[in-house]
Structures are given as structure tokens and as C-alpha cells.
């Protein structure tokens, strides 16, 4: 029973860590990734530009 409680607690901690990581990942933007980082800015500048549907109107 004690082992199951430890496993349950560990799973709850893992779920919380995944939630926090997901929140941080959703908050990332190209601007945040490239600010003050010339290497990343150059890498993103090399990528082909994607035209959004709003730009085709």
C-alpha cells in the first residue's frame, strides 16, 4: 500500500511538471527565442517565409 501511495505522489508530481513545461512552451515566441541571440535570429531568418491565409486576402 505504501508503494502505491509513493507511486501516486510521483505521478502527481510528474503531471504537475508536465503542465508547467507545457505552459512555458506555449509562452515561447520567435521574438523571445531570438532576442539578444544573433545565432537564433540568423537561423529563423534563413527559414522560408510562410504566408498566412489572412495575408492572401
State the pLDDT confidence band at 57, using cuts at 50, 70 and 90.
Answer: low
The DSSP symbol for 28 reads -
- In this prediction the pTM is 0.50
How far apart are alpha carbons 53 and 1 in whole angstroms?
Answer: 56
State the pLDDT confidence band at 41, using cuts at 50, 70 and 90.
Answer: confident
Contact 44, 30 (CB under 8 A): yes
pLDDT digits (tens, 9 = 90+) for 2-24: 999 999 999 999 999 999 999 99
Q: Of 49, 51, 26, 31, whose CA–CA distance to 41 is shortest?
A: 31
What rounded mean pLDDT belongs to the chain?
A: 88
Residue 50 has pLDDT above 80, yes or no: no
Amino acid at each position: 500500500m505504501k508503494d502505491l501511495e509513493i507511486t501516486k505522489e510521483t505521478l502527481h508530481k510528474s503531471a504537475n511538471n508536465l503542465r508547467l513545461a507545457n505552459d512555458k512552451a506555449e509562452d515561447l515566441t520567435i521574438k523571445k527565442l531570438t532576442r539578444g541571440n544573433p545565432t537564433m535570429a540568423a537561423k529563423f531568418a534563413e527559414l522560408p517565409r510562410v504566408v498566412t491565409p489572412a495575408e492572401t486576402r
